[in-house]
Amino acid sequence: MAAVLLEHISFRYTAFGLSDVSLEVSPGEFFTIVGPNGSGKTTILKLIDGILAPNGGSLSLFGRALRRMSRQEVARIVAYVPQDGAAAFPFTVREVVLMGRSPHLGLLGFDSARDREIASWAMELAEVAAIADRPVTEISDGERQRVYVARALAQKPKILLLDEPHAHLDIAHQISLCESLRRLAAEQGLAVVAVVHDLNLASMFSDRMLLLHEGRAVAIGKVEEVLTPALINQTFHVPVMVDEHPTLHSPRVTLVLSHGSGGNGQGDHRG
């Protein structure tokens, strides 16, 4: 049974929206969503989490219609790592991660020894155990991002949604995060849906991906079917070359600057 199933979803937002997006993510799959800024990537994550309601189409998690589920029921199977979360109150890292256990707590809302064990496990995995007792108001953006990953893992979700989890991370943490998530997907059947900006990172770790452009699915499928020079050029409007990663054999995207010499300050994708 599909962990996540979107059928002909449309969503109207003031300026942009989504039209007729369908996708299916299986348990254990690492699925990424790529596309230019404003193409609707985050919107899809919020629809899957039930924070936004679609205007048309149907959405189900493990065969259950999302609109029939309460927030708590959703939070027991879906965890969400936000793009950025400013911390206003000086809760410690451990306290914030323990909040991930909230959907599973009893009436009085106290965590059990098992909840604390799960939080410790999540902090190890997200590499924040060393800063467990620091207030979240006093750590770096990258550390805070990993705290939110740990909080999401502490929810013990079956579906993990990540919105640009790499934005504030250095390359070592980018890679170790992706490897941890892949391992969780393989070992525990976790379905991972991530919005990723770095096409090469997405290529190295994804099973399948969705390429979005202006609220429409341009392509969906295996990485090598989606990351083609023609499709990338069509959506991002930058010329690229695609060859094979020397060891992983996944597609490798290289930017080709259109004006031979003007190298400085360009590069990267633009929105």
Sites for other proteins among residues 104-133 (CB under 8 A):
105, 107-111, 116, 133
> Taking the complex as a whole, how short is the minimal distance between the CB of residue 167 and other proteins, in angstroms?
17
Please pick, from the candidates 15, 86, 170, 243, the single residue that binds other proteins as defined by CB under 8 A.
86
Please pick, from the candidates 9, 40, 94, 204, the single residue that binds other proteins as defined by CB under 8 A.
94
CA distances from residue 90 to 99, 102, 212 in whole angstroms, order as listed = 14, 18, 38
> Which DSSP state fits 102?
G
76 is a site residue for other proteins (CB under 8 A): yes
Stretch that binds other proteins, among 98-106, 168-176, 191-199, 231-239 (CB under 8 A): 98-106
103 is a site residue for other proteins (CB under 8 A): yes
182-214 per-residue burial string, b: 16 or more CB within 10 A, e: under 16: bebbeeeebbbbbbbbbbebbbbbbbbbbbbbe
131-164 per-residue burial string, b: 16 or more CB within 10 A, e: under 16: bbebebeebeeebbbbbbbbbbbbbbbbbbbbbb
Stretch that binds other proteins, among 71-79, 174-182, 191-199, 244-252 (CB under 8 A): 71-79
Residues 176 and 199 sit within 8 Å (Cβ to Cβ): no
> Taking the complex as a whole, how short is the minimal distance between the CB of residue 90 and other proteins, in angstroms?
6
Site string for other proteins, 140-179 (x = CB under 8 A): -----------x---x------------------------
Site string for other proteins, 178-207 (x = CB under 8 A): ------------------------------
On the CB side of 182, CA atoms within 13 Å amount to 15
> Taking the complex as a whole, how short is the minimal distance between the CB of residue 220 and other proteins, in angstroms?
25
Handedness of CA 177, 181, 183, 187 (dihedral sign): positive
Sheet bearing 17-25, strands edge to edge: 17-25, 4-12, 56-61, 64-65
State which residue, 108 or 172, has the beta carbon closest to other proteins. Answer: 108
> Taking the complex as a whole, how short is the minimal distance between the CB of residue 99 and other proteins, in angstroms?
5
59 is a site residue for other proteins (CB under 8 A): no
Helix axes 113-125, 141-154, angle to 10 degrees: 140
> Taking the complex as a whole, how short is the minimal distance between the CB of residue 51 and other proteins, in angstroms?
5
Question: Of 203, 215, 156, 186, nearest to 21 (Cα)?
Answer: 215
> Taking the complex as a whole, how short is the minimal distance between the CB of residue 43 and other proteins, in angstroms?
14
Residue 156 token pair? 């013990």
> Taking the complex as a whole, how short is the minimal distance between the CB of residue 230 and other proteins, in angstroms?
37
State which residue, 111 or 143, has the beta carbon closest to other proteins. Answer: 111
Question: Of 230, 193, 198, 190, nearest to 209 (Cα)?
Answer: 193
Please pick, from the candidates 32, 39, 92, 145, the single residue that binds other proteins as defined by CB under 8 A.
92
